[in-house]
Amino acid sequence: MTKRGTRRFFLGGTLACTVLFVGMTIDSHRQFGRLTHADQITPAVIQGKHVWHRKDCINCHTLLGEGAYYAPDLTKITEHRGTAYLQAFLKDPSKFYTEARDRRLMPNPKLTDAEIDEVIAFLGWVSKIDNQGWPPRPILVSGAAIPGTNVGAPAPHAASNEPSEQGEALFRTSPPGCFSCHSVSPGVNLAGPSLADIGERAGTRVKSPDYHGQATDAAGYIRESILHPSAYLVPGATYSAGGRSFMPDNFGTLLKAEQVDQLVAYLRTLQNSQ
Amino acid sequence: MRYRSQAVAYPYFAVALLLFGLQVAFGLLAAAKYLGPDPLLNVLPFDRVKEIHTNLLIVWVLTGFMGASYYLVPEESGAELWSPKLAYIALVVWVLMGLTAVIGYAFGWTEGNKLLEQPFPLKLVIVAVMLMFLANLLLTIRRAGRWTTTEAVLVAGLIFTALLYLPALLTFDNYTVSIFYRWWTVHLWVEGVWEMIQGALLAYLLIRLSGVDREVLEKWLYVIVGLTFISGIIGTAHHYYWVGVPQYWLPIGGFFSALEPLVFLGMAMYAYYAMRRSGLRHPNQLAIHWTIGSAVFSALGAGLLGLAHTWPAVNRWTHGTLITPMHGHAAFFGAYVMIVLAMITYALPGLTGRDETRLEGPVGIWAFWLMVGGMFGMTMAFATAGIAQTYLERIIGLGFLETQHKIQVHFLMLLATGLLFALGVALFLWDFFLGRGRPLPVPATEPRLAETAT
């Protein structure tokens, strides 16, 4: 190609792309109102946007995934936290997080009550923007999205002597290693079925005509399932065969009686969270 | 140095380098805050440090571009600069603006709009300085009555830089719309017209350093600039994926922004070709290091690492994680920091009245390798942190705070490699201000006008 040819390539290519880009921009303006629910941009939302900028929030946080990467994304924060919580948090973040425990702390933004309400209104409006369903799964400020998998927490210690708390710690300890086959998250079936609402399910199951075991109440059913797993078989080819559950049947010898009590106490607390 | 007025470049380079040093200091502070805990939490919180860090980058790179242009335009047009005095006045105003901005940021005077935080009055000063600068260049070219392709591409890049700053003056009530136009400035600068400037400076340096035929190189320059705009203009869409724009920006933006690496691949090939074909061995080895370094490092940082997360299906998971600063650091360093440092090292012997061959020496080479190695390490630290964050936080669903705690070891690596980088910067600055960058007194018998560059 000659220099003249390459110049034509440059000018022609640039022009064509600019035309396409400007065309898409004009069309986007036709759609912004609908995609962003522009009719819901109230004076409070606009004021809240000013607070957002004035306090330089974007140089620590991200919003719609844009900003700095030092603090959590706030796109859906109003769906994850209630207004009362956010008001209290913005009044004094140090009541909720500490540097010693969480490594990072937000300095007090020193907002008035009105400014707090405005910035919450702004974030509420942002959370409803139609943005191709991003984020694909919730981005949490802290904690874990899959309860029972316990990815974040260190080796479990019970917070008190409460049997259910002792049982929860035991559930996450190996042995007995309950967590390696059972999640406590709805619909998350590992090698064994999910125990998400077992506290509730146990009560209905003992009364069902399919049940032929010895237990008469929820606690009894859970205890029996731990000690004699084949007394009732949850349907599923990967859970049992030939009338025998795949779950080990030696927990009666592995665990002390009081440990079984603790597990029962914990599992009974798992109620349907809906 | 062929023209006396090219000396205007020297104070611009000096200011650029001082601001570079300050930028790196704030960068180290920001990295330390990632490690935590933060004793300065209530004095100078992260947001202000980060804002000063990024704004200093923009200001010093622009200062470097201006210095480079004042050096290049008289030489290419074959005439003295229209008004050196205007250039000095512009520099003073520019420095005052920059210092006001930095001090203002430290005390919370900000518009809080990422990368365009400059308060409105300062934005107007920026526009005014840009106008003084462009007027000076254009009047020089007009008076000379001639220009080269390289120079035309450079000046066009600078004019578009000024024009594309104008959307930054607008405000919108709708946050999505304001994001939309913010990228017209930020994206179309760094992935559009600044690449034009980089391409032109690269062409100039390659012509001077390798002695390769100008016609051939300028032909390539058009191809590169053409590819820049074909991929880069619609490539703006990779910033639009999840912010509330119509769906069609995703596939179209994905396609065009996936073409962006071609530009950098083109530049790397262009540099390789130029050095390979010329039989010449220019004595300014340090300038060759920075020139070739810029072409190669930008292919990695801006090209490959940009491609890594530009496709919508990938970006859906990496958007807003530390993957972004991985790309950002390597891209800015390779494309813009290195090209400005290349221009400085190339122009320095002429500007200080020294023999070019004597610029060779261990300090400059150490500065080069420490910066390159340090930045590569920082890029890897951000990459490993970002990949871990994407899996833990975005895919598995672990909370932000727990994730940041789990990836702390990468912040340690970030700080360590950042210190290496800072050491390289310190050596470069030492060399410029206390070593071979100090101007020599001009011998009375040998007027500077008579000197010629290679």
Nearest CA in chain B to A27: B246
pLDDT at residue B357, as a whole number: 67
Distance CA B263, CA B308 (A): 16
- Measured in degrees and rounded to the nearest 5, phi and psi for residue A73 equal -70, 140
CA dihedral (B178, B179, B184, B189) positive or negative: positive
Provide the CA B62 distance to its chain's centre, in angstroms: 8
Write the CATH number of the domain with boundaries B4-450.
1.20.210.10
Nearest CA in chain A to B180: A25
ipTM value for the complex = 0.93
Nearest CA in chain A to B326: A69
B402 three-state secondary structure: helix
B179 and A CB contact within 8 Å: yes
Q: Which chain B residues touch A34 with a CB distance below 8 Å?
A: none
pLDDT at residue B397, as a whole number: 83
Provide the CA B393 distance to its chain's centre, in angstroms: 31
Express the helix, strand and coil content of chain A in percent, nearest 5 each: 50, 5, 45
Q: Do B226 and A13 touch (CB under 8 A)?
A: yes
* Residues near B181 by beta carbon (within 8 Å), at least 6 away in sequence: B167, B170, B172
CA of B217 vs chain A CAs: smallest distance (Å): 9
Mean pLDDT per block of 10 residues along chain B (454 residues) reads 93 98 98 93 96 97 98 96 98 97 96 94 96 97 95 96 94 96 96 95 93 90 94 96 96 94 91 81 89 95 95 96 97 97 94 75 92 98 98 91 94 98 97 86 53 44
pLDDT at residue A152, as a whole number: 45
User: CA B95, B98, B103 angle in degrees (round to 5)?
Assistant: 125
Q: Using CB atoms, pick whichever of A35, A41, A151 lies closest to residue B173.
A: A41
Q: Which of residues 23-62 of A touch B (CB under 8 A)?
A: 24-25, 27-29, 31-32, 35-36, 38, 41, 46, 49, 52-60, 62
Q: Using CB atoms, pick whichever of B42, B222, B229 lies closest to residue A17.
A: B229
pLDDT at residue A273, as a whole number: 53
The domains of chain B are located at 4-450
Q: Which of residues 353-372 of B touch A (CB under 8 A)?
A: none
Distance CA B300, CA B375 (A): 12
Task: Answer yes or no: are the C-beta atoms of B228 and B189 closer than 8 Å.
Answer: no
* Residues near B264 by beta carbon (within 8 Å), at least 6 away in sequence: B295, B298, B299, B302, B303, B335
Range with lowest mean pLDDT among A4-13, A144-153, B165-174: A144-153
Q: Do B246 and A28 touch (CB under 8 A)?
A: yes
pLDDT at residue B52, as a whole number: 97
The answer, yes or no, to whether residue A155 has pLDDT greater than 80, is no
Q: Do B394 and A136 touch (CB under 8 A)?
A: yes
DSSP per-residue string spanning B84-140: HHHHHHHHHHHHHHHHHHHHHHHTT-----TT----HHHHHHHHHHHHHHHHHHHHH
Instruction: Please write the tens of the pLDDT for every residue from A75-86.
Output: 999 988 888 889
Instruction: Please write the tens of the pLDDT for every residue from A25-52.
Output: 999 999 999 999 999 999 999 999 999 9
| Crossing angle of the two packed helices A257-268 and A163-171, in degrees rounded to 10 | 100
> For residue B295, which of B203, B393, B418 has the smallest C-alpha distance?
B203
> For residue A203, which of A258, A271, A265, A261 has the smallest C-alpha distance?
A271
Q: Which run of H or of E encompasses A250?
A: none
Probe site for chain B from A62, A69, A89 (most B CB atoms < 10 A): A69
Rounded mean pLDDT of chain A? 89
Q: Give the pair of three-digit tokens for residue B128.
A: 């005014």
Q: Do A140 and B400 touch (CB under 8 A)?
A: yes
Q: Which DSSP state fits B208?
A: H
Q: Give the pair of three-digit tokens for residue B442.
A: 């001009």
A67 three-state secondary structure: strand
pLDDT band at A156 (very low <50, low <70, confident <90, very high): low
pLDDT at residue A145, as a whole number: 60
Mean pLDDT of A206-217: 90
Distance CA A124, CA A45 (A): 8
Q: Which chain A residues touch B234 with a CB distance below 8 Å?
A: 17, 20-21, 24
Please give the domain boundaries of chain A with CATH numbers for all domains: 37-141 (1.10.760.10), 163-268 (1.10.760.10)
Residue type, B326: M
Q: Which run of H or of E encompasses B336?
A: none
